[in-house]
Amino acid sequence: MNGVEMLAAIRGRGLDLSDRVIGRFDWDAVGGFYEFLRDQNERGGFFSKGDSAKIVERHVYECLIFVDYVASAAPVSRETTICDAGTGPGLPGYFFACMNDRPRLTLVDSSRRRLGLLEVYHESRTHPIEFRYERLEELKALFDVITLRALIPFPQALEVVTALQRVGGQVFLSLGREPPPTSLAHLGYVSRETFLPPELAFLGARTFMHVAKTKKQDSLYPRPWKTIQQEI
């Protein structure tokens, strides 16, 4: 699907795209990624049966709005290092690779089942992406920006990535309902903004959360994964 067809598919579902969003992305790349999600869905088990017919609105459009929010709030440049944690088939992280000004992107997932298919798809593209098949608590790297979508509940999601950032790093979470006020000081973070994107109101509760790392996390954090898992 080329860029014109991708834009038409989004608009044909009654979805709005601002001039800023339209100008931010390479729509041929977006269309190609949509075709990958559609064509490899059954093989990779990307989406539930109910979502398989609504990939454009429930996943492509939602992730485009989220990535635009991140790129505006961070802001994001070609020198920005971004990690999409628990990316699955590249949601939302691969949309950073569909930007006109692409950042330095790392996609992380502990399973090859879905992300491995995306790595094969990306082999024919020229811009580099780092694919990492590791658990987040075992990853040895540092990133300017980390994104998380539907990984594990908040605030435990922040705990598993706090060791992946220096002071000054930023995390953006795409959540369902707005979480209750929570102290993040032990993880080194402070909340910058909780945003309810009006474009996604038709999907029900959707919340974007932006937090910044202002100090090193307490020495006891992150805790072992088994401890976090039991708490969840």
| Residue 92 preceded by cis peptide, ω within 30 | yes
Span 164-174, mean pLDDT?
97
Let me know if 138 is exposed, middle or buried by CB neighbors in 10 A (0-12, 13-18, 19+). exposed
- Tell me the per-residue pLDDT of 97-128, one tens digit each, with 9 for 90 and over: 999 999 999 999 999 999 999 999 999 887 89
| pLDDT, tens only, 51-66 | 888 999 999 999 999 9
pLDDT beyond 80 at 182: yes
The type of residue at 66 is F
What average pLDDT is seen over the chain? 95
- Compute the Cα dihedral for 166, 88, 30, 97 and give only its sign: positive
- The secondary structure of residue 123, as a DSSP letter, is T
pLDDT(150) > 80: no
Which residue in 27, 119, 212 sits closest to 17, CA to CA? 27
Question: Hunting for tokens 């459009």 — which residue is that?
Answer: 61
128: Cβ–Cβ under 8 A, 6 or more apart, which residues? none
CA atoms within a 13 Å half-sphere pointing along the CA-CB vector of 174: 26
Q: Whole-model pTM?
A: 0.96
- Give 199's contacts (C-beta < 8 A, 6+ positions apart): 15, 16, 61, 65
Q: Report the distance separating Cα 198 and Cα 207, nearest Å.
A: 10
